[in-house]
Chains A and B, each alone.
Chain A
Amino acid sequence: GENVEQHPSTLSVQEGDSAVIKCTYSDSASNYFPWYKQELGKRPQLIIDIRSNVGEKKDQRIAVTLNKTAKHFSLHITETQPEDSAVYFCAARSYGGSQGNLIFGKGTKLSVKP
């Protein structure tokens, strides 16, 4: 089945700096890669996603890149703000025998220092 590795597990940046979180996946058949943000005590919420036929997608300060050959994808946050502090999860949708379930990485705790 699919396996998603996420790095780093914790990331601390100064306000205004950029943050990059990287994920790798194992199943070459996976074709959908969402990123979720989870604030303390709250539910995960989708912030951006990318499909396997696209190499890059951007939404204001957030961008995601996908390298299908290397089987890795990354989240880029520019001009970080204190409200970006949260846990971020990457995921891959695997279509093996699992009907298209999302398999998640273990998360990255991002701290943005004012």
Chain B
Amino acid sequence: NAGVTQTPKFQVLKTGQSMTLQCAQDMNHEYMSWYRQDPGMGLRLIHYSVGAGITDQGEVPNGYNVSRSTTEDFPLRLLSAAPSQTSVYFCASSYSGNSGSYNEQFFGPGTRLTVL
């Protein structure tokens, strides 16, 4: 298994540009999520999904969109990039995020995004 994969590894955007960060997992996990990591701020949840066709907002959703058309893929779209979105983005997945489950959350390798 490849686990959780993310592309690209690095990206530089200009303010106002849009782009999609790709995330895929081959473990048949229902739950997928996106985090951003900034120095001294830990990992903050952007959006998450508990299954295909179901998405919801996390702690810091503004400026980002997601969709979940398949179990495997969970892309994150930046609609109009801003310098404040400069960060490292991690995708993660687990078997389920529902009450009563304690399944390990696996992280992808991350995408380092710079917005000029």
List the 3 closest pairs (A to B, CB-CB), nearest first: A100-B97, A106-B42, A43-B107
B 70-114 contacts with A by CB, 8 A:
90, 96-99, 101-102, 104-105, 107-110
Are A34 and B104 in touch, CB under 8 angstroms? yes
The smallest C-beta distance from B84 to any residue of chain A, in angstroms, reads: 18
| B19-27, B43-51, B61-69: which lies at the interface | B43-51
Are A100 and B104 in touch, CB under 8 angstroms? no
Closest chain A residue to B99, Cβ basis:
A95
Are A106 and B105 in touch, CB under 8 angstroms? no
Binding site for A on B (CB under 8 A): 31, 33, 35, 40-45, 48, 50, 56, 58-59, 90, 96-99, 101-102, 104-105, 107-110
Given A43-B90, A106-B41, A107-B42, A101:B104 Cβ within 8 A: no
The binding surface of chain B is classed by DSSP as loop
Are A43 and B58 in touch, CB under 8 angstroms? no
Given A43-B108, A46-B105, A101:B42 Cβ within 8 A: no
Are B50 and A99 in touch, CB under 8 angstroms? yes
Q: At the interface, yes or no: A73 with Cβ under 8 Å from chain B?
A: no
Given pairs A34-B104, A34-B105, A104-B43, 6 additional interface contacts (CB within 8 A): A32-B102, A42-B109, A43-B108, A98-B58, A101-B58, A103-B59
Q: A56 to B105, alpha carbons, bound, how many Å?
A: 21
Residue in B43, B44, B59, B97 whose CB lies within 8 Å of A99: B97
Q: At the interface, yes or no: A82 with Cβ under 8 Å from chain B?
A: no
Are A43 and B42 in touch, CB under 8 angstroms? no
The smallest C-beta distance from B61 to any residue of chain A, in angstroms, reads: 12
Q: A69 to B50, alpha carbons, bound, how many Å?
A: 30
Are A100 and B101 in touch, CB under 8 angstroms? yes
Q: A89 to B105, alpha carbons, bound, how many Å?
A: 13
Are B99 and A100 in touch, CB under 8 angstroms? yes
Set of chain B residues within 8 Å of A100, measured between Cβ atoms: 31, 96-99, 101
